[in-house]
């Protein structure tokens, strides 16, 4: 019993204090665990986190103006954009110098396309002027003000300089403003002209239609999952294959198949006309609109709803419903009070999956959505691959990501994320 | 043992290195168009030089992908087939190599330098035109009655030609046709379209048929819609209509009036290694000479971009029909044409597209 009376810290077998020894071995174990997950961590970091971060950063990054026209940007600080007067000769001289360097590096046209997003006409102005400005000598050919205006009258337009000054900041909110149908002007943020407002509408439509698609998936998937979970194994396996078969078919093939089904000379309309339910000259319009998108996407996303529902329903013990019935509950009460509450985690998991997939869908709305059934992702695709306005595309993507995270948070608050089960 | 491994390793390296030097990746549109290039350019070139050509059907996303490759500093493409508007953008962005046409392209057989042989079709310093194609209309001969359309404004004439029409889901071409049929003279179209009022006028004219339009985004849509009888007439690329009419024998005919000429051709990405750049230039020199451009017209109904190639255009390789009358540039077809106004659309595209999409969504 000498140990108990001994003063000082408890010692391990090798004589080091027990606390220290324990901490060391715990740290070692943590390091080993970290080393084990390091490959995955690095992979996720390199292939997922960093690319997404860099894409998000593009939505505010705007160093191109200051990098291409460094001297001009300095001079522009001294110029009052609201004066209504053209800048003075010093600015034109600085601009000529900047342009000659930029033309050498072939970056002036790049700047032109960037500024063309803000003011129509800038692209050709930079390209055309480039050929002429190249011939000027910044030391001897001054003064430049009149010469530049002669090369292109755009350089004599106050608006040109106001645009350059407004967008000379290295970090801009311009793309985000564009993404919500506004724009950055010298007077601050302003709404876009009404006939160019479309993006907020598309965001709203994307959310609305994704909700409708999720709801129709729930309605269709619930009875199917119930059947799958309750039928004998042999039959339910066969049904399962029917659910999975379309899942293994290419997305494009399935979408194109819907086109064949839904178009006015398509299978559904032909059948209805043949049956005499629909007049030949009044065929149903069920494609190239929102209806077409909802049908095709509900079908495509259905397995994502059925699978989590099925795996949750499988775990609901039969004895519960039998117990309820034996105590006198009707079929409906048994279902509503006993079975349904236990299947909610499956609905939750399926809904989150389907909704988040739907909100980013692109190819199906493009093919069957016509004009009223397209999503915000179709605009993002346009700005990535056609207009090359990656800043705006990044801003739209960031907003979409934020909306999804916000909805996820709401879901967590209202339903509780612990209530979601995949099986 | 060790010696053996080293030997094997160096042998593998030599094979890999050799294979690298003998390979180039050419990007194009896929489908019948890539096939025509394979027959007319790739196969003879491989036979002549032993270079293996890998095909990549990514032209539709070429601009975005080239920009991404350039940022990543790893360009995997050697020669890329793009439309002229994309080539201009790539050139503006510094993503395509500038070409000295007279020294880097073959002269015509009679010695005319390339810059004269291509003439006005050299719309960008980086772009070597290959074909002239047109966006034009096809109509169902069995659905228009006894009165087949002969001019573009039939598209806006719902009274005589009731039914759906398909138009491309973008402002380019549609806005011009709308103004033309709203009484604007051909030479004024772009001046009018540069003003907000003119844009509204064009949209208002398109608005008269908006409920009867199926909007397409892939070139294959209109041929399918025509073949299924979903639309009575529709715009698409003339080569697609040729294959619907002559290869699939559908009851479809061409409406060449006010067809819009556009160019498709090659660019070489900027920033290739010296060796790869030389090979790409060598390929371009071969593939855009007078005979090769004329050869391509054997397989697809697009007009060669060289003036000297036109007289050499012969018969379709499989169908055996004369190709000249199916060329958009044939005098009989080209009585009334537009040339895609590259500069206008480079400037106005973003602006008008936003308006157009907002109008579509209304």
ipTM of the complex: 0.86
Give the residue-averaged pLDDT of A251-274: 92
Three-state secondary-structure class, residue B299? coil
Residue A4 lies in a domain: no
Residue A390 near residue A383, CB atoms below 8 Å: yes
Q: At what angle do helices A290-314 and A199-230 cross, to 10 degrees?
A: 40
Q: How confident is the model at residue A322 (pLDDT cuts 50, 70, 90)?
A: very high
Q: Domain B135-262+334-361: which CATH class?
A: alpha beta
Question: Quick one: what percent of chain B has pLDDT higher than 70?
Answer: 94
Give the minimum alpha-carbon distance from B211 to chain A in angstroms, rounded to a whole number: 11
All structural domains of chain B with their residue ranges: 2-132+265-326, 135-262+334-361
Domain range for A243: 199-419
Distance CA A231, CA A226 (A): 8
Query: Which ranges constitute the DSSP H helices of B128-251?
Result: 174-180, 189-193, 196-207, 221-227, 238-242
Q: How confident is the model at residue A81 (pLDDT cuts 50, 70, 90)?
A: confident
Q: Are A244 and A302 found together in one domain?
A: yes
Tell me: the pLDDT tens digits for B203-220? 999 999 999 999 998 888
> What pLDDT does residue B1 have?
41
Residue A156 lies in a domain: yes
Which helix (H) or strand (E) segment is A381 a member of?
helix A376-385
Tokens representing residue B74 in the block: 């790893």
Task: Dump strand ranges (E) for chain B.
Answer: 23-27, 52-56, 79-83, 128-140, 165-168, 213-216, 233-237, 252-267, 303-304, 337-339
Three-state secondary structure of B93-137: CCCECCCCHHHHCCCCCCCCCHHHHHHHHCCCCCCEEEEEEEEEE
Give the minimum alpha-carbon distance from B354 to chain A in angstroms, rounded to a whole number: 5
Tokens representing residue A261 in the block: 């089904």
Q: Which residues pair with B261 in a beta bridge?
A: B134, B339
Residue A59 lies in a domain: no
Closest to B199 measured CA to CA, from B22, B357, B30: B357
Max intra-chain CA distance, chain B:
87
Number of residues that this document lists for chain B? 362
Per the omega criterion (within 30 degrees of 0), is the bond before A143 cis? yes
User: Testing the interface with B: which of A102, A195, A252 to mutate, by most B Cβ within 10 A?
Assistant: A195
Q: How confident is the model at residue A327 (pLDDT cuts 50, 70, 90)?
A: very high
B247, pLDDT greater than 50: yes
Half-sphere exposure of B7 (CA within 13 A, CB side): 4
Distance CA B66, CA B71 (A): 9
> What pLDDT does residue B93 have?
87
Residue A253 near residue A363, CB atoms below 8 Å: no
> What pLDDT does residue B8 have?
47
- Cβ–Cβ gap A197/B358 under 8 Å: yes
Tokens representing residue A120 in the block: 């129509």
User: Testing the interface with B: which of A388, A389, A390, A396 to mutate, by most B Cβ within 10 A?
Assistant: A388
- Cβ–Cβ gap B354/A196 under 8 Å: yes
Please name the residue of chain B whose CA is at the shortest distance from the CA of residue A256.
B221
Q: Are A159 and A293 found together in one domain?
A: no
What is the distance of C-alpha A405 from the center of its chain?
11
A131, pLDDT greater than 90: no
Three-state secondary-structure class, residue A236? helix
B245, pLDDT greater than 90: yes
Q: What is the CA radius of gyration of chain B?
A: 23
Residue A268 near residue A286, CB atoms below 8 Å: yes
Q: Which residues contact B167 (CB under 8 A, 6 or more apart)?
A: B155, B174, B206, B213, B214, B215, B216, B234, B235
- Cβ–Cβ gap B346/A263 under 8 Å: no
- Among chain B, residues having any CB pair with chain A shorter than 8 Å are 60-61, 63-64, 67, 89, 91-94, 164, 169, 200, 214-215, 217, 228-230, 343, 346-351, 353-355, 357-361
Give the minimum alpha-carbon distance from A231 to chain B in angstroms, rounded to a whole number: 42
Distance CA B347, CA A387 (A): 11
| Mean of the per-residue pLDDT values of chain A | 91
Tokens representing residue A315 in the block: 């775990």
Measured between alpha carbons, how far is residue A332 from residues A215, A338, B291 in Å? 22, 10, 80
Query: Which ranges constitute the DSSP H helices of A167-287?
Result: 174-179, 199-230, 233-247, 251-262, 267-275
> What pLDDT does residue B21 have?
53
- Cβ–Cβ gap B347/A122 under 8 Å: yes
B142, pLDDT greater than 80: yes
Three-state secondary-structure class, residue B214? strand
Q: How confident is the model at residue A423 (pLDDT cuts 50, 70, 90)?
A: low
Q: At what angle do helices B62-72 and A376-385 cross, to 10 degrees?
A: 70
- Cβ–Cβ gap A372/B361 under 8 Å: yes
Please name the residue of chain B whose CA is at the shortest distance from the CA of residue A384.
B64
Q: How confident is the model at residue A83 (pLDDT cuts 50, 70, 90)?
A: confident
- Cβ–Cβ gap A124/B349 under 8 Å: no
Give the one of A122, A263, A390 whose C-beta lies nearest to B228's C-beta.
Answer: A263
> Would you tell me how many other CB atoms lie within 10 Å of the CB of residue A234?
7
Q: Are A165 and A224 found together in one domain?
A: no
- Cβ–Cβ gap A109/B347 under 8 Å: no
Candidates 3.40.190.10, 3.60.21.10, 1.10.1060.10, 3.20.20.70; correct CATH number of B2-132+265-326? 3.40.190.10
Measured between alpha carbons, how far is residue A160 from residues A34, A398, B34 in Å? 55, 30, 44
Q: How confident is the model at residue B185 (pLDDT cuts 50, 70, 90)?
A: very high
B301, pLDDT greater than 50: yes
- Cβ–Cβ gap A123/B60 under 8 Å: no
Tell me: the pLDDT tens digits for B346-355? 899 989 999 9
- Cβ–Cβ gap A201/B361 under 8 Å: yes
Distance CA A370, CA A358 (A): 17
> What pLDDT does residue B14 have?
43
Name every chain B residue with its beta carbon within 8 A of the beta carbon of A127. Answer: 92, 346
Distance CA B278, CA B123 (A): 23
Measured between alpha carbons, how far is residue A181 from residues A154, A169, A381, B212 in Å? 26, 20, 18, 29
Name every chain B residue with its beta carbon within 8 A of the beta carbon of A120. Answer: 347-348, 350-351
Q: What is the pTM of this model?
A: 0.88
Q: Torsion over CA of B81, B86, B92 and B97, rounded to 10 degrees?
A: 0
Q: How many domains does chain A have?
A: 2
- Among chain A, residues having any CB pair with chain B shorter than 8 Å are 106-107, 109-110, 112-113, 116-117, 120-124, 127, 192, 195-198, 201-202, 263-266, 288, 366, 370-372, 374, 379, 382, 384-390
What's A208's domain CATH number?
1.10.3720.10
Which residue matches tokens 């810059």?
Answer: B115
Domains B2-132+265-326 and B135-262+334-361 fall in the same CATH topology: yes
Tell me: the pLDDT tens digits for B6-42? 444 444 444 444 444 589 999 999 888 999 999 999 9
Three-state secondary-structure class, residue A334? helix
Q: Which residues contact B271 (CB under 8 A, 6 or more apart)?
A: B70, B73, B75
- Cβ–Cβ gap A123/B92 under 8 Å: yes
Q: Are A163 and A209 found together in one domain?
A: no
Distance CA B315, CA B325 (A): 10
A7, pLDDT greater than 70: no
């Amino acid at each position: 019993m000498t140990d108990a009376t001994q003063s000082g810290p408890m010692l391990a077998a090798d004589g080091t204090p027990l606390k220290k020894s324990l901490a060391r071995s715990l740290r070692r174990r943590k390091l080993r665990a970290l080393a084990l997950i390091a490959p995955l961590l690095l992979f996720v970091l390199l292939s997922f986190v960093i690319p997404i971060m860099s894409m998000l950063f593009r939505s505010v990054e705007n160093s191109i103006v200051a990098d291409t026209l460094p001297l001009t940007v300095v001079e522009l600080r001294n110029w009052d954009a609201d004066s209504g007067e053209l800048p003075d000769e010093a600015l034109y001289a600085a601009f000529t110098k900047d342009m000659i360097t930029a033309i050498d590096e072939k970056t002036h046209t790049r700047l032109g396309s960037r500024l063309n997003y803000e003011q129509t006409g800038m692209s050709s102005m930079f390209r055309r002027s480039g050929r002429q400005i190249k011939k000027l000598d910044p030391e001897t050919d001054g003064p430049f003000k009149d010469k530049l205006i002669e090369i292109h009258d755009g350089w004599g337009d106050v608006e040109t300089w106001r645009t350059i000054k407004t967008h000379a900041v290295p970090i801009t909110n311009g793309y985000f403003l564009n993404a919500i149908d506004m724009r950055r002007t010298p007077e601050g943020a302003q709404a876009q002209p009404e006939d160019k407002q479309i993006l907020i509408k598309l965001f709203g439509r994307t959310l609305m239609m994704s909700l409708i698609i999720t709801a129709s998936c729930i309605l269709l998937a619930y009875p199917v999952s119930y059947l799958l979970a309750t039928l004998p194994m042999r039959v339910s396996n066969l049904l399962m294959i029917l659910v999975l078969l379309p899942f293994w078919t290419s997305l494009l093939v399935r979408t194109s198949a819907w086109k064949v089904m839904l178009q006015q000379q398509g299978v559904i309309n032909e059948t209805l006309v043949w049956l005499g339910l629909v007049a030949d000259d009044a065929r149903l319009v069920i494609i190239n609109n929102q209806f077409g998108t909802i049908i095709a996407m509900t079908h495509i996303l259905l397995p994502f709803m059925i699978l989590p529902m099925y795996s949750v329903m499988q775990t609901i013990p039969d004895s519960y419903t039998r117990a309820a019935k034996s105590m006198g509950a009707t079929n409906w009460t048994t279902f509503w009070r006993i079975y349904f509450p236990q299947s909610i985690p499956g609905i939750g998991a399926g809904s989150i999956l389907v909704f988040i997939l739907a909100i980013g869908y692109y190819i199906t709305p493009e093919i069957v959505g016509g004009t009223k059934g397209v999503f915000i992702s179709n605009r993002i695709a346009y700005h990535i691959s056609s207009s090359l306005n990656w800043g705006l595309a990044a801003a739209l993507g960031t907003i979409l990501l934020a909306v999804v995270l916000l909805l996820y948070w709401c879901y967590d608050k209202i339903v509780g994320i612990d209530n979601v089960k995949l099986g | 043992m060790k010696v053996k491994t080293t030997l094997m390793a160096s042998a593998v390296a030599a094979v890999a290195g050799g294979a690298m030097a003998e390979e180039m990746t050419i990007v194009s549109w896929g489908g019948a168009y890539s096939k025509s290039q394979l027959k007319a350019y790739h196969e003879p070139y491989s036979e002549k030089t032993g270079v293996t050509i890998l095909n990549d059907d990514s032209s539709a996303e070429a601009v975005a992908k080239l920009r991404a490759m350039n940022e990543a500093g790893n360009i995997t493409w050697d020669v890329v087939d793009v439309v002229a508007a994309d080539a201009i953008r790539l050139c503006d962005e510094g993503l395509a190599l500038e070409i000295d046409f007279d020294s880097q392209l073959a002269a015509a057989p009679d010695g005319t330098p390339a810059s004269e042989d291509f003439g006005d079709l050299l719309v960008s310093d980086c772009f070597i035109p290959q074909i002239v194609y047109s966006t034009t209309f096809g109509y169902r001969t069995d659905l228009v009655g006894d009165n087949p359309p002969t001019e573009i404004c039939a598209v806006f004439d719902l009274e005589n030609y009731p039914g759906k029409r398909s138009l491309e889901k973008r402002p380019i071409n549609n806005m011009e046709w709308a103004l033309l049929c709203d009484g604007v003279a051909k030479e004024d179209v772009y001046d009018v379209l540069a003003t907000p009022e003119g844009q509204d006028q064009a949209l208002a004219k398109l608005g008269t048929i908006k409920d009867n339009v199926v909007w397409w985004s892939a070139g294959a849509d209109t041929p399918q819609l025509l073949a299924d009888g979903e639309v009575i007439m529709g715009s698409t690329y003339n080569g697609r209509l040729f294959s619907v009419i002559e290869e699939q024998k559908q009851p479809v005919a061409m409406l060449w009036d006010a067809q819009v000429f556009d160019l498709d051709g090659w660019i070489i990405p900027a920033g290739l290694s010296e060796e790869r750049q030389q090979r790409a230039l060598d390929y371009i020199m071969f593939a855009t000479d007078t005979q090769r451009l004329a050869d391509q017209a054997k397989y697809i109904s697009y007009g060669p971009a060289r003036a000297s190639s036109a007289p050499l255009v012969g018969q379709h390789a499989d169908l055996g029909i004369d190709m000249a009358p199916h060329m958009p540039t044939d005098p009989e077809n080209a009585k009334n044409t537009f040339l895609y106004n590259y500069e206008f659309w480079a400037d106005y595209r973003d602006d008008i597209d936003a308006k157009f999409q907002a109008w579509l969504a209304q």
